[in-house]
Amino acid sequence: MKVSFSALGCGLLFGAGLALSGMVQPSKVLGFLDVAGAFDPTLAVVMAGALGVLVPAQAIARRRATPLMVPRFAELPRLRVDGRLFAGSVLFGVGWGLSGFCPGPGIAAAGVGLRDALWFLPAMTAGMLLFRAWEMRGQRKPVDETGIPVTAEDHRTAGS
């Protein structure tokens, strides 16, 4: 319950920050990415400001055994630097440069009813579902020897 309230509070602050900083304005983001033309550095300042808060916060988190409201910090997946990371970041960067939206501002702007974000967000969601389908390719629903699909619960345990 408490955790839900704090998630909502953090979301509110995050969304207001995105709006006030101009991250929801695609033309401003495109100006930030346009290093060879009408470069607009304000978003670099926004990012630096956010990092200025986050770097000390991470240092505190490293020193604390537990967060304030739940028993433990969520474990981060231990992944290597690999082709997926690189390829995914290239695809994301190209989409970002084409539209001026990344996921957070896309959600915020679509929620406010901004026309361009209303095109962008469903496509982004579809892209995520497409990734899921692609990742699950070949993993057909397991069936037992009689051909009856294993129940959802078994399936979940098997997959985890």
Applying CB under 8 A, which of residues 42, 45, 69, 142 lies at the interface with other proteins? 69
50 is a contact residue toward other proteins (CB under 8 A)? yes
Shortest Å, Cβ 87 to other proteins: 6
Please give the structure tokens belonging to residue 131: 């990734």
Phi, psi torsion values for 38, nearest 5 degrees: -80, 65
Phi-psi region of 147 (alpha: psi -120 to 50; beta: other; left: phi over 0): left
Shortest Å, Cβ 150 to other proteins: 14
Cα(119)–Cα(95) distance, rounded to whole angstroms?
Answer: 13
8 A C-beta contact, residue 85 and residue 79: yes
Closer residue to other proteins in complex, CB, 145/159: 159
Shortest Å, Cβ 5 to other proteins: 8
41 is a contact residue toward other proteins (CB under 8 A)? no
Closer residue to other proteins in complex, CB, 6/150: 6
Applying CB under 8 A, which of residues 76, 140, 147, 148 lies at the interface with other proteins? 76
Binding to other proteins in span 80-139, by CB under 8 A: 80-81, 84-104, 106-109, 111-112, 114-116, 119-132, 134
Cα(150)–Cα(143) distance, rounded to whole angstroms?
Answer: 5
The count of residues interacting with other proteins (CB under 8 A) is 105
The per-residue DSSP string of 23-57 comes to TT-HHHHHHHH-TTSS--THHHHHHHHHHHHHHHH
8 A C-beta contact, residue 147 and residue 156: no
Closer residue to other proteins in complex, CB, 55/148: 55
